[in-house]
Amino acid sequence: MMKSMTGYGCAKEQRGGKTITVELRAVNHRYLDCAVKAPRQYSFLEEAVKKAAAARIARGKVEVFVAVEVEGGGAVNVTVNHALAAHYLAALRELAQTYGLREDVTAMTLAKLPDVLGSERVEQDADELTGDVTAVFAAACDSFDQMRLREGARLADDVRARCAAIEALVGEVETRAPARVREYRERLLARMREVLADAGVDETRIVTEAAIYADKTAVDEETVRLRSHLHQLGLMLEEKQPVGRKLDFLVQEMNREANTIGSKANDVEMARLVVDIKGEIEKIREQIQNIE
């Protein structure tokens, strides 16, 4: 199914004492441009998330927001500086003996002295956290893809409707082409009769001129190619792989054929039909800018 490049997805899970939230949003872009925003201490996640994004998203300007909340503020190790504590204890005992004081040194007494106790936060395992975050990212991508598929289906329906309109207009062009040659022949005959007055008109010359005109203004090849492009476009809309770039190229070719028909038209009615065809092609081009 075709996907839009525009979408939003979010997932929040508890994993290994952590609450992980991943949010992503995307808008149109010619290529994949992924930016990851995570807390500074988790900057190592950026590369893994970008790699995961490239595996799921073909095109679009994507912003990914990662939040990691550690329950209880995270694990902390408390350390004791035993050498410093021994020096403090010896100094306190020396004071007590020197000045005849009571020795009432407790563990709390030593713990309150500078630098006896220290603390350090236990660093989280980077590989484990990366695995957890990419798993939550995958869940966010699932909801992201659901939104993109819904929007893609709407875009595909609109493009199909415009293709049908173009095909109908091409049919009118094909119907108009023979009549245009016939009208040219009649105008040419009328002018020659007017100029030559009573002299006889060379019918062979009229037929020859009409044939030359028909050959110069024939659009059969262009309408056949345009119908072929419309058929290919319909098939692309059914593909499961990203087709945005292919569609962009195909629409350029459709516009080229329409321009050629317009340059050969030399007829007000056909010129109007070509303008309508190009208008529908332009609307398709605008729509496929949203397709992945």
User: DSSP states of 212-277 as a string?
Assistant: HHHHHT--HHHHHHHHHHHHHHHHHTT-SS--HHHHHHHHHHHHHHHHHHHHHH-SHHHHHHHHHH
pLDDT at residue number 22: 97
pLDDT at residue number 172: 92
pLDDT at residue number 233: 95
Q: Give the residue ranges of the chain where pLDDT is below 50.
A: 122
pTM for this model (two decimals): 0.69
| Cα 68 from Cα 42, distance rounded (Å) | 9
pLDDT at residue number 248: 93
pLDDT at residue number 183: 65
pLDDT at residue number 199: 54
pLDDT at residue number 216: 65
pLDDT at residue number 17: 81
Homologous superfamily, domain 7-73+124-148: GHMP Kinase, N-terminal domain (3.30.230.70)
Cβ atoms within 10 A of the Cβ of 224, count?
Answer: 13
